[in-house]
Amino acid sequence: MTLRRLFLISLAPCATVTVAHAQAARLDATADAGVRRAVEREVVVARSSGLPEGLLIAKANEGIAKRATSKRITDAVAALGKRLQVARDQLAPNPSEDEIAAGADALYVGVPAPILKKMRAAWPNRSLALPLGVLTELVAKGLPADRAARTVTDLMTRGATNVQLFALAQSVQGDVAAGWAPEAALDLRARGVMSLLPPAPAASAFTNPRRP
């Protein structure tokens, strides 16, 4: 799932088709029997757990298109299934399929699972799909997960919109491509967004209160 797709769906919150559902597809007819059995097994588990099963099929089809070995395909599908489960648990109590999918992407790039739970605590009543997509993009560009999550969460609690978060991620991506250090790029762009937002409320889940 790309950040741009998450952004587009965030602009249509009433849409009946989620990103996760949009990726659902039938398993490629060229899949061998071993891959087919493994994928079907993972899909059954996902369906019973309320996970976006279409992503598992899409992952298998991606491997088939790349001519990966059966073992690599089945391993990748099983690993994705585990990430989806962890993401759902960390984003409890009622994450959407898009949030689960975005959480799994964050885990894939190395974001520690507890960070997902902290972000849910910081923003319990709004979708985390786009903020998690932004976090994933920042970490993929070389930002430490804690630093990126703290910045995204601070922006969220200050009232940053999905449009502003998306623009920040795009700007950091462009800056890094132009040769900027990832942390310098994030600092610059985050300050720009912060300057447009109301004053900070109470400490976020990522803030450690100072002792007197």
Whole-angstrom CA distances from 37 to 43, 50, 64, 65 are: 10, 20, 14, 18
**Mean pLDDT value across residues 106-117:** 98
Per the listing, tokens 């319990």 go with 124
Assess whether pLDDT exceeds 70 at residue 7: no
Assess whether pLDDT exceeds 90 at residue 198: no
Tell which phi-psi region holds residue 142, choosing left (phi > 0), alpha (psi between -120 and 50) or beta.
Answer: left
pLDDT of residue 17: 47
Report which of 91, 167, 92, 94 is spatially closest to residue 132, judged by C-alpha positions: 91
Lowest mean pLDDT: which of 26-35, 83-92, 93-102, 195-204? 195-204
Q: What's the DSSP call for residue 118?
A: H
Q: How far apart are CA 183 and CA 30, in angstroms?
A: 45
| Residue 15 pLDDT level (bands cut at 50, 70, 90) | very low
- How does pLDDT run across 141-167, given as a tens digit for each residue? 999 999 999 999 999 999 999 999 999
- How does pLDDT run across 96-108, given as a tens digit for each residue? 999 999 999 999 9
Instruction: Spell 124-146 as b/e; 16+ CB within 10 A means b.
Output: eeebbbbbbbbbbbbbbbebebe
Computed over every residue of the chain, the mean pLDDT equals 88
Residues 6+ apart with CB under 8 A from 8: none
Here the tokens at position 185 are 């790029």
Assess whether pLDDT exceeds 60 at residue 20: no
Q: Quick check: 52 and 20 in contact, CB under 8 A?
A: yes
